[in-house]
Amino acid sequence: MQNLLHNLNPEQLAAVTLPAQPALILAGAGSGKTRVLTTRIAWLIQTGQVSPAGILAVTFTNKAAKEMMTRLSAMMPINTRGMWIGTFHGLCNRLLRAHYRDAALPQAFQILDTQDQLSMIKRLLKANNIDDEKYPPRNLMYFINNAKENGLRAQDVEAFDDFNRRMVELYALYDEQCQREGVVDFAELLLRTYELLSRNQPLREHYQSRFRHILVDEFQDTNNLQYNWLKLMAGTQAAVFAVGDDDQSIYAFRGANVGNMSAFEREFKVENLIKLEQNYRSHGHILDTANMLIANNTKRLGKNLHTDAGHGELIRIYEATSDLQEAQWIIEEAKSLIAEGSTRNEIAILYRSNAQSRVIEHALFSAGIPYRVYGGQRFFERAEIKHAIAYLQLMDNPHNDSAFLRVVNFPTRGIGARSLEQLQDAARQYGISLYAAVPYVTGKAGTSLGAFVKLVESARFETAQLPLPEMVQIVLDASGLIAHYQNEKEGADRIENLEQLVSAASLFVSEEGFGHDAPAQLGPRSEQTAGPAIVTQDGVEILDADAPLVTVMSPLSAFLSHASLEAGDNQAQAGQDAMQLMTVHSAKGLEFDAVFITGLEEGLFPHENSQKEDGGVEEERRLMYVAITRARRRLYLSFSQTRMLHGQTRYNTKSRFFDEMPEESLKWLSPKVQQHHWFANPKAAWDEVPESGANRIAQSMGKKNIGWRIGESVAHAKFGEGVIVNIEGSGSNARAHINFGRHGMKLLDLSIAKLDKV
Ligand code: ATP
Ligand code: MG
């Protein structure tokens, strides 16, 4: 025990050993919040105040949950497998599996990821003859998720006009369809659990008395439903221990509500508010930079951060002429870090938007440097993997229409649009799934659909007794997927990925404790052994305290939910020493010796979308604060004059964030005079703009366009004075790239924008 606590400072120690009462730990980045939370779990268990089963801990990502488990096992000899540590989604999945009947779900219910959800919505619109221009599928998806995140079912949403009324109707239809197919989306996992526990008193009381301690990391990013879920789980007895940092609230765009921190303080009557002010992660210059930047935000709860680590190195800033050159610079710097002895795992390259990674990846690849991308195209989201998973889903739950439609004719087996229409009509007529409707289709269509059903059935039958990895292997072959990609020109990569799915299944069964020879399809172990996993209380089936996943679902069901929930972890490469590439959002909570923050340009970071929204720039600044505070020793910032994004070349000015950092902590690697040269010398700008079609058009027009010339100074009501850097298009389609200095480069429609000559 001494061991457990002796590495803590007095405030951390106080936090770890607080009595069992509601507590809020409010502290800046790198101050040890996550460490305090983990240590508290260990301390509570070691001092005998609670058994591992009495702990409910919520983390922000699956990766974080895993890390917490690993740290706990290192601190003390306990089996963490039965512990309830996970994300909101993961924990809800677990609860719903245990109580699927009470939650009115089929035992093998499946989870829709965002991609599946969108395609389901598209199908729904089509089936109901709804104009998808008037009701864009994505908007409907946001509408539904938003309602769910506020705890509202379709019947609870008050429609204020016809359009809205239609949206609400579609929401109701969508929920019906999900129920028919036995699938739930991410928000549904939470809402369903919430409703289950609100409605079912014995169940609620069981969990409320079981979880004496509820601990939540990254509390600032909880949304309303998650907060209410926590309140429900806590009841009146549990000690909720929340840690968070209002300066790192970066998910407002997804409904996170930083106001939950003060709501928590008020509603739980928190008397234990602890602030941690010592930062253990970063050297002085890095911390000073983060502190000074975030001081520009107005809405803050207020706290300080200091370090004993000394100033360390200056922050290195590089201005590139193009994104390619930026990537090249990163590689040179990374190489010298590695030459100095840094491991690749300890170097992270962060970007604001996923689209930026392509150029960097290409440069790393050409330089032969191993790298790993988090969160981009995730393993479980790749098309070939989704196809394989769809076959497995159908074997587990044939009524999943999304899975059915994904593979009924993939690889092609002569089932055309017309056959599917017939099938969909039959399904609608009888109110059943597509799979169930197959016998109602006659003729040639019926024969080929019947053959598909037979394929799925025999795969299910033949693999019922086999372990999961073997089942996956057989399905890859029997489905025709492997053969299909063998015939495809660039199919080799895809086949490799499919083979990785077999390895992923292997790894999964051993990590979850299913045992390598457990049959993939047979139900939960508890049902086979009637062991102590299920106890009955007031006629309600209750999952016993330490029940791990193996006791509540089959390996196949468990693996499929893992595929939907853990899409982010690319485990196949986990062991390799590789540079880490990710968006700033996915870097939350992590730390690295060296961090590159790239693309620090107006319009990219801060992102242009943020400038339209209230408080948008403040959220971007918090995001920048998160990015900076990931670094331990070295921080590199870069921006580029030009960047190719989404097929267009953008001309950029450096991010406003540079003006908000302490000059004495910065080291400019490129001559500073370059920074505003377009603004100062428009002629030079013209000469340097890369040759593009638009340029040539402008040139051939004598650099003239409805009265405007490149290089001309203009004034705009909102952006002030600027210089036209380029003109593209002509007549009423003419648009100009105008450098407005402080406001950055804007692309304005010349027939609309109100510009004056200066
Ligand atoms: P973030 O806000 O980024 O999530 P955090 O507040 O959760 O950060 P941790 O990740 O828990 O911070 O801790 C940051 C680093 O400081 C970790 O490497 C941790 O091990 C280390 N650390 C925390 N407290 C101490 C301490 N008392 N002594 C030494 N190192 C510490
Ligand atoms: Mg943390």
Rounded average pLDDT over 108-124 = 88
244 touches ligand 1 (CB under 6 Å): no
Report which protein residue has its CA nearest ligand 1's atom 27.
8
Give residue 244 CA to ligand 1 midpoint distance, Å: 13
pLDDT greater than 60 at residue 140:
yes
Across 7-16, 52-61, 199-208, 686-695, least confident range? 686-695
> Which pLDDT score, from 0 to 100, does residue 548 have?
57
> Which pLDDT score, from 0 to 100, does residue 489 have?
76
pLDDT digits (tens, 9 = 90+) for 462-511: 998 999 999 999 999 999 999 999 988 778 878 888 888 888 888 888 87
Give residue 14 CA to ligand 1 midpoint distance, Å: 15
- In terms of average pLDDT, the best of 159-163, 342-346, 739-743 is 342-346
For this structure, is 217 an active site residue?
A: yes
pLDDT greater than 70 at residue 573:
no
Residues 84, 89, 92: CA angle, nearest 5 degrees = 60
Better-predicted residue by pLDDT, 350 or 385: 350
Give residue 200 CA to ligand 2 midpoint distance, Å: 34
Please state the atom number of ligand 1 nearest to the C-alpha of residue 629. Answer: 3
Give residue 35 CA to ligand 1 midpoint distance, Å: 6
Among 280, 307, 350, say which to mutate for ligand 1: greatest number of ligand atoms within 8 Å of CB. Answer: 280
Across 11-25, 286-300, 328-342, 360-374, least confident range? 360-374
pLDDT greater than 50 at residue 685:
no
pLDDT greater than 80 at residue 195:
yes
| 27 annotated among ligand-binding-site residues | yes
5 touches ligand 1 (CB under 6 Å): no
> Which pLDDT score, from 0 to 100, does residue 569 have?
42
CA 756 vs CA 258, 621, 710: distances in Å: 43, 33, 14
pLDDT digits (tens, 9 = 90+) for 710-724: 778 888 888 888 888
Rounded average pLDDT over 680-684 = 36
Which among 149, 181, 188, 217 is annotated as catalytic? Answer: 217
Please state the atom number of ligand 1 nearest to the C-alpha of residue 31. Answer: 6
280 touches ligand 1 (CB under 6 Å): yes
33 touches ligand 1 (CB under 6 Å): yes
Q: Residue 605 — very low, low, confident or very high, per pLDDT cuts 50/70/90?
A: very high
Q: What gap in Å lies between CA 69 and CA 63, rounded to an integer? A: 10
> Which pLDDT score, from 0 to 100, does residue 641 have?
92
Q: DSSP string spanning 110-157? A: EE--HHHHHHHHHHHHHHTT--TTTS-HHHHHHHHHHHHHTT--GGGS
133-142 contacts at long range (C-beta below 8 A, 24 or more positions apart): 135/166, 135/167, 135/170, 140/167, 140/170, 140/171, 140/174, 141/114, 141/117
Better-predicted residue by pLDDT, 510 or 752: 510
Q: Look up the pTM and report it.
A: 0.77
Q: Beta partners for 649?
A: 644
| 533 annotated among ligand-binding-site residues | no
30 touches ligand 1 (CB under 6 Å): yes
pLDDT greater than 80 at residue 681:
no
> Which pLDDT score, from 0 to 100, does residue 434 have?
94
CA 183 vs CA 138, 177, 192, 346: distances in Å: 19, 9, 12, 39
Give residue 34 CA to ligand 2 midpoint distance, Å: 4
Rounded average pLDDT over 109-120 = 87
Across 54-68, 209-223, 661-675, least confident range? 661-675
For this structure, is 33 an active site residue?
A: yes
Rounded average pLDDT over 408-427 = 91
> Which pLDDT score, from 0 to 100, does residue 248 have?
92
Q: Shortest CA distance to 52 belongs to which of 81, 23, 24, 75?
A: 81
Report which protein residue has its CA nearest ligand 1's atom 15.
281
| 29 annotated among ligand-binding-site residues | yes
Ligand of minimum distance to the alpha carbon of 281: 1
Ligand of minimum distance to the alpha carbon of 275: 1
Which among 218, 247, 401, 512 is annotated as catalytic? Answer: 218
> Which pLDDT score, from 0 to 100, does residue 732 have?
64
Axis crossing angle, helix 137-149 with helix 114-127, rounded to the nearest 10: 120
Better-predicted residue by pLDDT, 509 or 658: 658
Residues 260, 266, 270: CA angle, nearest 5 degrees = 105
> Which pLDDT score, from 0 to 100, does residue 567 have?
56
Give residue 51 CA to ligand 2 midpoint distance, Å: 24
CA 602 remoteness from chain centre: 24
245 touches ligand 1 (CB under 6 Å): yes
The string over 366-401, giving b where at least 16 C-beta atoms fall within 10 Å of a residue's C-beta and e elsewhere, is: eeebebbbbbbebbbbbebbbbbbbbbbbbbbbbbb
Which among 630, 643, 654, 735 is annotated as catalytic? Answer: 630
Q: Shortest CA distance to 415 belongs to which of 456, 449, 369?
A: 449
Rounded average pLDDT over 318-329 = 93
Mean pLDDT of all residues in the chain?
A: 85
Q: Contact, 621 vs 294, CB < 8 A?
A: yes
622 touches ligand 1 (CB under 6 Å): no
CA 668 vs CA 2, 32, 347, 606, 680: distances in Å: 47, 31, 21, 20, 20
Which among 39, 87, 193, 248 is annotated as catalytic? Answer: 248
> Which pLDDT score, from 0 to 100, does residue 697 have?
32
Give residue 38 CA to ligand 1 midpoint distance, Å: 11
Q: Residue 689 — very low, low, confident or very high, per pLDDT cuts 50/70/90?
A: very low
Ligand of minimum distance to the alpha carbon of 64: 2
**3-state DSSP call for residue 313?**
coil
Among 5, 25, 34, say which to mutate for ligand 1: greatest number of ligand atoms within 8 Å of CB. Answer: 34
> Which pLDDT score, from 0 to 100, does residue 506 have?
86
Q: Contact, 312 vs 667, CB < 8 A?
A: no
For this structure, is 630 an active site residue?
A: yes
pLDDT digits (tens, 9 = 90+) for 205-258: 999 999 999 999 999 999 999 999 999 999 998 999 999 999 999 888 878 888
For this structure, is 81 an active site residue?
A: no
**pLDDT above 90 covers what percent of the chain?**
57
> Which pLDDT score, from 0 to 100, does residue 127 have?
86
Report which protein residue has its CA nearest ligand 1's atom 30.
280
> Which pLDDT score, from 0 to 100, does residue 674 have?
39
| 32 annotated among ligand-binding-site residues | yes
Residues 667, 723, 662: CA angle, nearest 5 degrees = 20
> Which pLDDT score, from 0 to 100, does residue 595 have?
98
> Which pLDDT score, from 0 to 100, does residue 241 have?
98
> Which pLDDT score, from 0 to 100, does residue 41 have?
96
